[in-house]
Structure 1
């Protein structure tokens, strides 16, 4: 997913979404290209060109988040993936209000490390930058599929129908487990130039989005696992906690065996 290394649907082959992944499914407003002059026209036609899926409305917070400063978006290259249990993954992510060249460079760098680490998506906190930004490409190959950039995304609706998938995450190397999420979502976001838009997502793009959106809420994919599934990866999570302690000389900021699991709405973070 955006942060995920890969995703696999339960009881099906890896080729469940071959057509979805290799044919254009998003309006061109999403593409990480230099042709930004057509943005306004595409926003006005987006809802007519995007299929609408069965959805159940759920309210979500409209409270304005703290705005990121220039310092909040500072970064050094090459970017590095932040691994659990680094507290950066739980920190509050600020709203982006400056759509400048620095943001475009950050997006380029995020795509670069995403491809190099065999991911199909990535959120900004996963590279140590606590702002509301995600990138993903459902194909996961440079030059193929579509490169999607979402800034300050919000969820307005999600489907009542859910589906289990075997998810992985770049911040949890080598860990894969089943997570149940809604099959479709309706989102509001900004593009890389700051233009607002609304779009419906389903299938693999919807799942990738939800995984990455959770990161922007400080929610990690094991927070979504059932108790039984969580037990199967408990030892691996503990190993990452020990790795953090050995590397930093600090106690792990959270422990899977003792912490109280986060409460979250099905499929999403904020509600």
Structure 2
């Protein structure tokens, strides 16, 4: 997993933005690829977190959405209810494709949920995790590129929105806790600027680049019901097709139900570049 030295966490602005996120120490996770299990040289990645008024690498603007819109659904207390221990939901469970509701209640239950999500993430060697991956359809993610409890810094993002993203893209070999032992190349913007709320409901903006940007984008896709193979080319999907079909069969054997989706019927669909939209369905 990534080591703490990969993270540039010494700026006072970083502390102001992120220390309120959890209010208890731990590390920053990369479950974003729910399991970006294989890394190249640490020098390839940087963690850049700044205040809203800082510069981001060359970007083009995406239509900025407010924290609420007429299409948003607010999660009820029932939506946020969970039982311990949490378990990772695997493809093709339909939970991974459901609409995820916005969180408007920042209480002890939410803090407990966040704590348990980090616990599951570390136990499964992840560096990031989204709420739908543990069966809770709300807009919440946790991540820590260090991938180790006590190293790096734990980041919690509630109701995140992408504000801007770089024109420059990077191809990288991703993995996902919902797709155990499956890895393949995904192309994503190198840097992003986001808005979100922290664990206490406070609103902030942050710039991410390198590995943290990739982890965020992977987890953000989950909050939109988009899975990492949706963003792969047909040629790349062909390299993992047998493994995806094995997960579909595993689901059918376990539930006695037909798989809700099949990789064999995956069809190309045009979609705007950006976030929250699948390149393939």
TM-score by length of 1: 0.85
CA distance in 2, matches of 1:263, 1:129: 29
Deviation at 1:265, TM superposition (A): 3.7
2:14 corresponds to: 27
Q: Secondary structure at the match of 1:192?
A: coil
1:157 corresponds to: 164
Deviation at 1:58, TM superposition (A): 1.7
* Deviates most, 145-154 or 53-62: 53-62
- Residues 22 and 185 (structure 1 numbering): CA distance in 2 closer, same or farther, change over 3 Å? closer
Give yes or no for contact 1:241–1:252 (8 Å, CA) kept in 2. yes
CA distance in 1, matches of 2:55, 2:4: 18
- Matching residue within 126, 133, 158 for 1:126: 133
Deviation at 1:117, TM superposition (A): 0.1
CA distance in 2, matches of 1:267, 1:237: 25
CA distance in 1, matches of 2:116, 2:209: 27
- Matching residue within 49, 52, 67 for 2:56: 52
1:237 counterpart = 2:244? yes
- Matching residue within 182, 189, 194 for 2:196: 189
CA distance in 2, matches of 1:92, 1:250: 21
Structure 2 regions of 5+ residues with no counterpart?
25-49
Q: Secondary structure at the match of 2:114?
A: helix
CA distance in 2, matches of 1:83, 1:264: 25
Give yes or no for contact 1:99–1:192 (8 Å, CA) kept in 2. yes
1:136-169 deviations in whole A, cap 9, x for unaligned? 0010000000100000000011000000000000
- Matching residue within 201, 219, 231 for 1:224: 231
Deviation at 1:51, TM superposition (A): 5.1
Deviation at 1:60, TM superposition (A): 4.8
1:83-110 deviations in whole A, cap 9, x for unaligned? 0000000000000000001000000000
Deviation at 1:47, TM superposition (A): 2.7
RMSD of aligned alpha carbons:
2.3
- Paired residues in the alignment total 248
- Residues 250 and 259 (structure 1 numbering): CA distance in 2 closer, same or farther, change over 3 Å? same
2:103 corresponds to: 96
1:214 corresponds to: 221
CA distance in 1, matches of 2:124, 2:152: 17
TM-score by length of 2: 0.82
Structure 1 regions of 5+ residues with no counterpart?
1-5, 7-14, 36-44
1:151-209 deviations in whole A, cap 9, x for unaligned? 00000110000000000000000100000000000101001100111111111110000
CA distance in 1, matches of 2:151, 2:209: 20
Q: Secondary structure at the match of 1:194?
A: coil
Give yes or no for contact 2:226–2:277 (8 Å, CA) kept in 1. no
